[in-house]
Structure 1
């Protein structure tokens, strides 16, 4: 009540910029761009911050859809067991907050153009800012495609994608325009997001040209290239993956210690882009990475992954874990007090493994092996004797499978697993079949964790990709007010 006596209310929100005010000075333009980062970091979950889409929810939802973690309690159980519907909050706000982020990006993108035309900022500065917001527009659409649309390669992108929104909506007229934008094909969405990423790459500085934590916490040329690599993996454009990877080799290097990229080390040489969290601005106890994966022990490492024989017992990445009630949990996220762990959206090790896979699939096993070992060897107790050789994977099928397993180990609890499951549906070498079979919900017994001996305990049944539950439904709150999207709802919902 005391605060009501003070005239301190700032009615200008940098999350929802007023188009008449937010682009009238260089400082306000920069605040508007920063608001897009904030929209990606925090999101909204029934009125509270929860880390949608990229501050935390990206990691939790993408892991809970796969088999390499176990949901221990009820928090992510609907996602974990695929018992969601068009009103389930976790799915609803994934869609809603992704489009909120996209809309903010679009509003700021349009405002930047006005600021340039009014000589508020230079064309070069405007292009840099546009590169940042268009990156987020592409990333958000790409993320939606993984959950609401079928994989690109099943039909070369001919199935329904998601509405690719490029118009800022802030008036009744623009609302009406937006209502006319329906679902394009997956292929059309990919072309649009690649166009946005190409613009971002061309207009953004490199990480070396950024200063301090902005080398990792702000969008750079390398970040745009990295997301293009993910897109090309999904499109099975192996030469595209390799060409984009080669651009990154002069920008980033692997850390010698696999743990060095975590514990909020924002000076490492490996992180390409991370969402920054602070003590005053984070997804909170119900969303923050350290809260969910660490002190609340809601997401455990699954025995399916922990026991796999390709994950050696003395691998240093096993040291970035802890035991809670007999189950194994990651310790990549450690700040359980202030929740300041940066959210690692993309790292150079992932890009090396992407290029390794592309080389293997094009029968260049030598280059594939080199990149695979560069990632893996730094975690080995005795690389001279434990490193892979060509005899380890003598043909491309075995090499690809080895690389895909290494992705699961290296990127555990970093939100990558569902994307791989999705893109590998009916793959010619290492096919996934849909939502995988998983360890039952709850704390796995301590006895289920046995290094080197594949897990053979009880599993809940998987769900085929032909089942309607493989895709999330467009939320009811959207279809109830948008007849076009109601008519384009995913089949079965």
Structure 2
């Protein structure tokens, strides 16, 4: 069998498999001159392949010919920027994310097209790692313990990337009975031969139920296999934490609690809310973050500190900034500077408010925060309030754990048992806390997505937003809730724009998916 090079195979799968004949692939030079077989022929080369997989997660390729020339799709930056700008709690102040923010995208728009393409490029890298490492173990090149650790990490990245794509390209789990509606293709084959290209070319959409089942199977496997404990690579605890997110979307409240309880004692919240960002590689709260370095990051057009801080392309929205639930002396409003550089949680420019969570605007070394313990606690808090026999006392305890560290006076400002006496009220408070706590971390879209047709705190479609552009300073004055003007109309949940369309380049390449486009596109 001819060898087809890893990077080129990934490109074929991500961009359109039909155009990549075996002869065309073999006529091209590989990026690193290492074939699939060679890439897993020694412990050192295997480790390099693992690092390449994480590089694909952190940087991606976007529309570049350089495999490391991307814009942080999916996990290096784009999940934050796209997850934020699809919601109402930020304002897109320029044109960079305008199509996402105003929902004027189509099947050729770069932001959503490369979410899909770079997502599946990463998935294919993970699949190639799983297959290559499996053979390396069989051939005695590495031990089964080392191999299992690598395989578990690849399964973790495969799982979370499929899950992430499903929240943008498929309806939420509770959209149909049994989640039998269309999801996305769940790819488990590493593409390195023409036969595999031809086979995968015919693969259509799995149901959402099938996607979630496979995500959980991969995460369960990752939990059992991974021995790594580094923050910036997949770990057993990261798999557990991510399962609380998946089960929350599935509305399996008991499983959210069961998985979350496994992490008791493994992590603690930082004493102050900015502790996660003061030391984003060494704090006690972060569970899985993506590594960035001065020589290896998404660059000026994607790095979080570039887009959110130095270039100020996205601001906090007055909608959440002026929400009465966010107390005026909450520490997450702290604004401090050292030599003119923001060191608190936010900073102001021309009266507008911006996040200061990402601070290295020179070398772009800030970690991308994929999941941290505060989310696990709030996932559990919500599950306790929603389960068949609600436990509002436990919900309150977990909610206060997260919120109280941000309060100026917890003794007088903390929520009490009298604050929320029904599950609906408690869940409403938890959802609001999530909007504040994870502001500018890409979490808002995930909640909008899963709360469609919710029984306690329903959201219909995408909420209305402040107009694209620079809001006036007066819009950020505290004291009353923000009531307008807006500028970007709400989009009903039935509107095709609620979902991103499958990219046209994929439809052109895949005859099966060509007949499975999201309705209305």
TM-score of the aligned structures, taking structure 2 as reference length: 0.90
Return the match for 2:204 from 177, 182, 196.
Answer: 182
Aligned twin of 2:346: 321
Q: Counterpart of 1:323 in 2: which secondary structure?
A: strand
Aligned twin of 1:376: 403
Query: CA shift at 1:264, angstroms?
Result: 4.4
Aligned twin of 1:464: 492
For structure 2, list consecutive stretches of 5 or more residues without a partner in the other structure: 1-28, 335-344
Aligned twin of 1:121: 142
Aligned twin of 1:419: 446
Is 2:506 aligned against 1:478? yes
Return the match for 2:368 from 332, 338, 343.
Answer: 343
Is 2:41 aligned against 1:30? no
- The separation in 2 between residues aligned to 1:127 and 1:73, in whole angstroms, is 45
- The separation in 2 between residues aligned to 1:451 and 1:222, in whole angstroms, is 40
- The separation in 1 between residues aligned to 2:453 and 2:215, in whole angstroms, is 24
Return the match for 1:91 from 107, 112, 118.
Answer: 112
Contact between 1:311 and 1:452, CA under 8 Å: does it hold in 2?
no
1:194-205 counterparts in 2 under 5 A? Answer: 194-205=216-227
Q: Counterpart of 2:315 in 1: which secondary structure?
A: strand
Contact between 1:312 and 1:452, CA under 8 Å: does it hold in 2?
no
RMSD between aligned alpha carbons? 1.2
Aligned twin of 2:154: 133
1:26-425 counterparts in 2 under 5 A? Answer: 26-47=43-64, 48-155=69-176, 156-205=178-227, 210=229, 214=230, 216-319=231-334, 320-362=345-387, 363-425=390-452
Contact between 2:173 and 2:179, CA under 8 Å: does it hold in 1?
yes
- The separation in 2 between residues aligned to 1:482 and 1:333, in whole angstroms, is 39
Superimposed CA distance per residue, residues 361-382 of structure 1 (whole angstroms, 9 cap, x where no aligned partner) = 1210000000000001111110
Q: Counterpart of 1:464 in 2: which secondary structure?
A: coil
Superimposed CA distance per residue, residues 75-118 of structure 1 (whole angstroms, 9 cap, x where no aligned partner) = 10000000001110011100000000000000111000000000
Q: Counterpart of 2:281 in 1: which secondary structure?
A: coil
- The separation in 1 between residues aligned to 2:437 and 2:425, in whole angstroms, is 18
Superimposed CA distance per residue, residues 33-79 of structure 1 (whole angstroms, 9 cap, x where no aligned partner) = 11111000001222032110110011000100000000001110000
Q: Counterpart of 1:248 in 2: which secondary structure?
A: coil
Q: Counterpart of 1:346 in 2: which secondary structure?
A: strand
Superimposed CA distance per residue, residues 338-392 of structure 1 (whole angstroms, 9 cap, x where no aligned partner) = 0000000001001100000001112100000000000011111100000000111
Contact between 1:56 and 1:283, CA under 8 Å: does it hold in 2?
yes
Moved over 3 A (4+): 11-14
- The separation in 2 between residues aligned to 1:345 and 1:205, in whole angstroms, is 19
Query: CA shift at 1:17, angstroms?
Result: 6.3
Is 2:441 aligned against 1:428? no
Superimposed CA distance per residue, residues 250-299 of structure 1 (whole angstroms, 9 cap, x where no aligned partner) = 21111101111114431111000000000000000000000011010001
Distance 1:486 1:167, change over 3 A: same
Q: Counterpart of 1:34 in 2: which secondary structure?
A: helix
Contact between 2:108 and 2:503, CA under 8 Å: does it hold in 1?
yes
For structure 1, list consecutive stretches of 5 or more residues without a partner in the other structure: 1-10
- The separation in 2 between residues aligned to 1:289 and 1:265, in whole angstroms, is 13
Query: CA shift at 1:465, angstroms?
Result: 1.4
Query: CA shift at 1:173, angstroms?
Result: 1.1
- The separation in 2 between residues aligned to 1:79 and 1:325, in whole angstroms, is 25
Query: CA shift at 1:452, angstroms?
Result: 4.3
Query: CA shift at 1:409, angstroms?
Result: 0.4
Contact between 1:263 and 1:341, CA under 8 Å: does it hold in 2?
no
- The separation in 1 between residues aligned to 2:206 and 2:116, in whole angstroms, is 16
Query: CA shift at 1:492, angstroms?
Result: 1.0
